[in-house]
Amino acid sequence: MARTVKRAFKYRFYPTPEQAAELARTFGCVRLVYNLALQARTEAWTLRQERVNYTATSAMLTAWKKTEGLAFLNEVSSVPLQQALRHLQVAFSNFFAKRAKYPTFKSKKKSRRSAEYTTSAFRYRDGKLTLAKMAEPLDIVWSRALPEGASPSTVTVSQDAAGRWFVSLLCDDVVPETVATGQVGIDAGLDSLLTLSTGEKITNLRHERRDRTALARAQRQHARKQKGSNNRAKARVKVARVHARITDRRRDHLHKLTTRLVRENQRIVIEDLTVRNMVKNHTLARAISDAAWRQFRTMLEYKADWHGRTLVTVDRWFPSSKLCSTCGALAERMPLHVRSWTCRCGTVHDRDVNAARNILAEGLSVIACGGGVRPQRESSRTGQSPVKQEPPGVTQGIPAL
String of DSSP letters for 93-157: HHHHTTSS----PPPTTTS-EEEEEEGGGEEEETTEEEETT-SS---EE-SSPPPTT---SEEEE
The verdict on whether 272 is a catalytic residue reads no
The verdict on whether 126 is a catalytic residue reads no
List 22, 116, 290, 352, catalytic entry: 352
String of DSSP letters for 373-384: -------TTTSS
- Yes or no: say if 188 and 297 are a contact pair by the CB < 8 Å rule: no
Sign for the CA dihedral angle at 310, 314, 320, 324 comes to: negative
Calculate Rg over the CA atoms of the chain. Answer: 27
Q: Which of 82, 90, 172, 86 is nearest to 132 (CA)?
A: 82
Q: Which of 284, 54, 283, 26 is nearest to 134 (CA)?
A: 26
Phi first, then psi: give them for residue 310, nearest 5 degrees.
Answer: -100, 115
List 22, 173, 271, 290, catalytic entry: 271
List 173, 187, 290, 362, catalytic entry: 187
The verdict on whether 271 is a catalytic residue reads yes
Say how far apart CA 240 and CA 215 lie, in whole Å: 9
Catalytic residues: 187, 271, 352
